[in-house]
Amino acid sequence: MALVLFSGGQDSTTCLAWALERFARVETVGFDYGQRHRVELAQRAGLCERLTALKPQWEQRLGDDHVIDLSALGALSDTALTGDKAIEMGAKGLPNTFVPGRNLIFLAFAAALAYRRGLTHIVGGMCETDFSGYPDCRDDAIKAMQVALNIGMESRFVLETPLMWIDKAQSWALAQQLGGERLVEAIVEHSHTCYLGERGARHAWGFGCGACPACKLRADGYARWRASAAS
């Protein structure tokens, strides 16, 4: 039984498919923290509909969805993801799209929800290979958080990060492996990654401004995956 951190983006959609393939019961949770690209939350329901249409067992396994208000996180943050400012590198060598503590807070709230719902596996799209320098995406941070949650909640949660050691090209390949071209197309058409919340321009890899770090990473991964598949 699993709870998937499901933002409505490419990575979390792939992780949802991964969980639906493995667990008999899967629930999802999203977080509204005042993110600049809040449009991602609006994509979640449509993505769930399309995933459950891909395989009968996925439809049977997908359970309740939850959205948690974390507006306090956005209010505390002074970042390019929570405010209208240019994306640039910060003083510590981290991009100013880094929201301090975000993944740690997400996991703590997810664990509290999983505890109440009787779910033991918590699935997130954190990744060290394409992590934009975010320290709370590192494997060490996730492992440490798992220890802290299990001690603090007297539980045996397993934090699953299926994308941790693969890059964006491999993430596209994983999506195809899990759900074929129909899942790839659902991710292209309906998931949202762009930091600026732009959904006006349709590219081969999906919608977005095409210039922010998230768009560039997604576009580059898509191009490398297609080129590899064609060779």
pLDDT score at 31: 95
Residues in the chain: 231
- Domain-embedded: residue 219: no
pLDDT score at 51: 97
- Domain-embedded: residue 188: yes
- Domain-embedded: residue 11: yes
155 pLDDT more than 90 = yes
What is the count of structural domains for the chain?
Answer: 1
Residue 133's CATH number: 3.40.50.620
pLDDT score at 200: 86
pLDDT digits (tens, 9 = 90+) for 81-121: 776 767 767 767 777 677 778 999 999 999 999 999 999 99
- Domain-embedded: residue 203: no
- Domain-embedded: residue 150: yes
- Domain-embedded: residue 210: no
Instruction: Report, as an integer, the average pLDDT of 21-31.
Output: 97
- Domain-embedded: residue 206: no
Domain range for residue 144? 2-193
Can you give the three-state secondary structure of 62-114, one letter per residue?
Answer: EEEEEEEECHHHHHHCCCCCCCCCCCCECCCCCECCCCCCHHHHHHHHHHHHH
Provide the mean pLDDT of the chain.
92
CA-to-CA dists, residue 72 to 22, 31, 119, 167, angstroms = 34, 11, 26, 32
pLDDT score at 132: 65
Cα separation, 13 vs 15, whole angstroms: 5
- Domain-embedded: residue 94: yes
